[in-house]
């Protein structure tokens, strides 16, 4: 199979917890390459700040699954 025929899939994997938390559909790779994609089924992802609350849009925080 030529490399041009292969689709790329972006995945977000974790060290602890579920092995794969999010996946970006290959069709969205160009338009949405800045994101890791949607959470996998039965997975919730939140960005939290130092005090534990969910981050607002534009706030820097850490991923919590």
How far is C-alpha 50 from the geometric centre of its chain's CA atoms?
A: 20
Give me the residues paired with residue 11 across strands.
23
pLDDT of residue 9: 63
pTM of the model: 0.48
3-state secondary structure of 35: coil
Q: Which residues contact 41 (CB under 8 A, 6 or more apart)?
A: none
Query: pLDDT tens digits, residue range 26-52?
Result: 777 777 767 778 888 888 888 899 998
pLDDT at 5 over 90: no
CA quadruple 15, 18, 19, 25: dihedral sign: negative
Query: What values do phi and psi take at 4, rounded to 5?
Result: -70, -20
3-state secondary structure of 39: strand
């Amino acid at each position: 199979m030529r490399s041009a025929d292969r689709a790329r899939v972006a995945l977000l994997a974790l060290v602890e917890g579920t092995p794969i938390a999010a996946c970006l559909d290959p069709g969205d790779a160009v338009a949405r390459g800045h994101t890791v994609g949607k959470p996998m089924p039965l997975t919730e992802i939140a960005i939290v700040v130092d005090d534990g609350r969910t981050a607002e849009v534009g706030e820097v925080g850490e991923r919590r699954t």
